């Protein structure tokens, strides 16, 4: 893709969902169908960021080899991608990517990520357990830029009220992502929790 093209042209020609489709990421496919969600999130963030590339942080990046982390690092509308995981990655993210081998839910992990903050898009896609998903919002909100969005993926539908009560942040919302027939009939729900930190009309 030519570097002479604007980000609008790059996005129209190849949106984030296409990069996921071309990777080993489970963000699109039979397990989940988050492609349209990330297309919408990126378009919103790029618009509010004056069409400048954004910075992305993702927790949990090693399970599928060259997955979403490598896809993010290839996107022309991503300035920098930072991935955190307790396990090593098979292949580095390239010149725009940074891998941090750390426990993201420890103070050490957060401080490692803070060196590259703030981030416009922060994603929790680790083990999907209660303590980690709650800690994600409580620990990483301070690293979220304006504009910025926090995304907690794969939240089981039946325990969403428990998660929201523990997070105790009225700005966090539940989103049921529409999926394809094959994805919606799978074992995993396409439920996410979102926290937005966008520029208001008054700013």
3-state secondary structure of 167: helix
CA distance 166 to 156: 15
Over residues 82-121, the pLDDT tens digits come to 999 999 888 889 999 999 999 999 999 999 999 999 999 9
Is residue 100 within 8 Å of residue 127, measured between CB atoms? no
CA distances from 96 to 25, 43, 115, 196 (A): 18, 20, 15, 24
Q: What is the pLDDT of residue 162?
A: 95
Pick the more confident residue, 150 or 178.
150
- In the predicted structure, residue 202 carries a pLDDT above the cut 80: no
- The predicted model scores a pTM of 0.91
- Domain 7-197: homologous superfamily in CATH: Vaccinia Virus protein VP39 (3.40.50.150)
CA distances from 13 to 10, 40, 59, 192 (A): 5, 15, 28, 27
- In the predicted structure, residue 192 carries a pLDDT above the cut 60: yes
pLDDT, mean over the chain: 88
Name the residue ranges covered by the structural domains of the chain: 7-197
* 120: CB partners within 8 A, 6+ apart: 45, 49, 54, 55, 56, 145, 147, 148, 149
CA distance 100 to 116: 11
Which of 2-16, 32-46, 61-75 ranks highest by mean pLDDT?
A: 32-46
pLDDT category, 44, cuts 50, 70, 90? very high
Residue closest to 34 by CA, chosen among 21, 45, 46, 47: 21
Look-up of token digits 């991608």: 81
Over residues 122-175, the pLDDT tens digits come to 999 999 999 999 999 999 999 999 999 999 998 988 899 999 999 999 999 999
pLDDT category, 2, cuts 50, 70, 90? very low
Peptide bond into 118 cis (omega under 30): yes
Q: What is the pLDDT of residue 156?
A: 84
């Amino acid at each position: 893709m030519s570097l002479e093209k604007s980000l609008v042209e790059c996005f129209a020609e190849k949106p984030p969902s296409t990069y996921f489709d071309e990777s080993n990421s489970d963000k699109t496919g039979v397990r989940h169908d988050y492609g349209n969600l990330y297309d919408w999130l990126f378009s919103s963030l790029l618009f509010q960021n004056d069409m400048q590339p954004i910075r992305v942080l993702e927790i949990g990046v090693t399970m599928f080899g060259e997955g979403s982390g490598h896809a993010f690092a290839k996107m022309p509308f991503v300035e920098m991608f930072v991935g955190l995981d307790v396990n090593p990655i098979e292949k580095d993210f390239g010149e725009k990517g940074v891998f941090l081998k750390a426990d993201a839910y420890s103070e050490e992990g957060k401080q490692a990520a803070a060196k590259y903050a703030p981030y416009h898009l922060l994603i929790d896609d680790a083990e999907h357990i209660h303590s980690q998903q709650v800690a994600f919002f409580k620990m990483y909100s301070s690293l979220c830029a304006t504009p910025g969005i926090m995304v907690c993926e794969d939240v089981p539908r039946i325990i969403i009220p428990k998660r929201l009560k523990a997070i105790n942040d009225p700005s966090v919302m539940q989103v049921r992502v529409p999926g394809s027939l094959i994805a919606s009939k799978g074992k995993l729900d396409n439920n996410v929790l979102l926290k937005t930190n966008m520029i208001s009309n008054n700013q």
